Amino acid sequence: MTAIIAAGGRGTRFGGAEPKQLVSIGGRTILERSVNAFLTHSSIDDLVVALPRELAEKPPAYLTEAPKPLRIVVGGARRQDSVAAAFAAVPDRSDIVVVHDAARPFASADLIARTIAAAAESGAALAALAVRDTVKQAVRGKDAAWVVDATLDRETIFLAQTPQAFQRSILRDALALTDPATDESSLAEKAGHTVRIVSGEASNIKITTQEDVSMAEAIGRSSKPARTGRAGTGYDLHRLVAGRRLVLAGVTIPFERGLDGYSDADVVCHAVTDAVLGAAGAGDIGRHFPNTDPQWKGASSLDLLGRAVAIVRAQGLEVGNVDATVIAEQPKLAPYIDTMRANLARVLGVSIDRVSVKGKTNEGVGELGRGEAIAVHAIALLRSL
């Protein structure tokens, strides 16, 4: 089963400097929240996300490092064009396709499941909210003021939301129509298909204007699960050899030798990466970035750490704090510690006070004491987003 996330629009009603999809609600963008509802849903195998061109060309890491297959397509001028572009990228084996508006970051797993179940049974289904208020139909009166023409039977009125789910052939029929439409259900209706209504959720709001953002923040706060902490440790050691640069936490430190390794051999980043992955139960650096894969040869390990952070974010975790101890007989690290912390903080997505790096010697004892290698111990604490 495939989910299409329609995020192709530019949100002209929203205003503001950045695209609506990238506005942050309680620390996560609207797009990330919407995508995550499907990435974490057990019925969804893969996703297709339609983005505006500028975003599709530089997608955020939570899309490129997603834990399920996720394709990115460039959206069209109208919503239905974006969905049609995404539909073209849906794998052949998907018999049901769920369409969701990226501007609705709070669709629950239960709502997604009920919409899918109804579509599996009847061909097409959408989430829609029953109306509580009395509904008036109006016409333009004198001076163009609206006046009531009729009071409608509210029992029969529903406000359309997404998700909307379709058997593949029905969505194909719907998207073949060129009439302008604000959702896929209306196209399916026009194509002659029956669309079933499943009970929507009041919290499944669509963020359209700036005012919606404060309501969304309130919903985000109330829907947040209790924050649990998860700790992970990391350890790494690299040999010091002649003819290599010495890179520690992204800082190139002047020294007569450097660390040997496949990537830039940044032993601090490696230990911290293992701590972050370990806290999430997500394996280790060797599994995600194997030194048998040429794409990681000479790689910036700060970059790899950033990728590891994206991997754990996709599991709903963010970094709380990190502490690392660097065991190096030489050189003196004190002048570089703050730059190292700043580099780590940037890729970990935390403020510098959440990152500690401490230098130690090995008192001349053993291999580390003789300066044959540098070793790092690290611990990371992750918490739920």
Cβ of residue 342: shortest distance to Mg ion, in angstroms?
22
Q: Tell me the residue number closest to Mg ion, measured at CB.
A: 270
Examine residue 377 and tell whether it contacts Mg ion (CB under 5 A): no
Binding residue count for Mg ion, defined by CB under 5 A: 2
Query: For Mg ion, which is the closer residue by CB, 7 or 305?
Result: 305
Query: For Mg ion, which is the closer residue by CB, 104 or 238?
Result: 238
Phi (first) and psi of residue 354, to 5 degrees: -90, 0
Query: For Mg ion, which is the closer residue by CB, 101 or 274?
Result: 274
The closest alpha carbon to 345, from 356, 358, 359, 334, belongs to: 356
Helices and strands in the chain, H and E counts? 13, 18
Check whether the bond before 331 is cis (ω within 30° of 0): yes
State how far the Cα of 234 lies from the Cα of 380, in Å rounded to an integer: 8
User: Count of CB atoms within 10 A of residue 364's CB?
Assistant: 10
Cβ of residue 361: shortest distance to Mg ion, in angstroms?
21
Query: For Mg ion, which is the closer residue by CB, 260 or 318?
Result: 260
State how far the Cα of 124 lies from the Cα of 169, in Å rounded to an integer: 10
Stretch that binds Mg ion, among 18-26, 141-149, 231-239, 315-323 (CB under 5 A): 231-239
Cβ of residue 346: shortest distance to Mg ion, in angstroms?
20
DSSP string spanning 338-371? HHHHHHHHHHHTS-GGGEEEEEE--TT-HHHHTT
Distance of CA 149 to the CA centre of its chain: 46
State how far the Cα of 276 lies from the Cα of 321, in Å rounded to an integer: 10
Sequence-ordered strand ranges (E) for the chain:
2-6, 24-25, 28-29, 46-51, 70-74, 96-101, 124-130, 135-140, 146-152, 158-167, 196-199, 229-242, 246-248, 251-253, 257-259, 317-327, 355-360, 373-384
Cβ of residue 263: shortest distance to Mg ion, in angstroms?
7
Query: For Mg ion, which is the closer residue by CB, 191 or 299?
Result: 299
Stretch that binds Mg ion, among 142-150, 233-241, 242-250, 315-323 (CB under 5 A): 233-241
**374 forms bridges with which residues in the sheet?**
238
Query: For Mg ion, which is the closer residue by CB, 23 or 259?
Result: 259
Within 252-271, the residues that bind Mg ion by CB under 5 A are 270
Cβ of residue 267: shortest distance to Mg ion, in angstroms?
6
Angle at alpha carbon of residue 276, lines to 271 and 278, rounded to 5°? 90
Cβ of residue 274: shortest distance to Mg ion, in angstroms?
9
Query: For Mg ion, which is the closer residue by CB, 70 or 251?
Result: 251
Q: Which two tokens stand for residue 122?
A: 């009847």
Could you give the 3-state DSSP secondary structure of residue 384?
strand
Cβ of residue 318: shortest distance to Mg ion, in angstroms?
24
Cβ of residue 262: shortest distance to Mg ion, in angstroms?
8
Mark 270-299 with x for binding to Mg ion (rule: CB under 5 A) and - for no binding: x-----------------------------
User: Is beta strand 135-140 parallel, antiparallel or unpaired with respect to 229-242?
Assistant: unpaired
Among 236, 264, 274, 329, binds Mg ion (CB under 5 A): 236
Query: For Mg ion, which is the closer residue by CB, 296 or 336?
Result: 296
Handedness of CA 269, 275, 279, 285 (dihedral sign): positive
Mark 156-195 with x for binding to Mg ion (rule: CB under 5 A) and - for no binding: ----------------------------------------
Query: For Mg ion, which is the closer residue by CB, 236 or 329?
Result: 236
Cβ of residue 244: shortest distance to Mg ion, in angstroms?
13
Applying CB under 5 A, which residues contact Mg ion?
236, 270
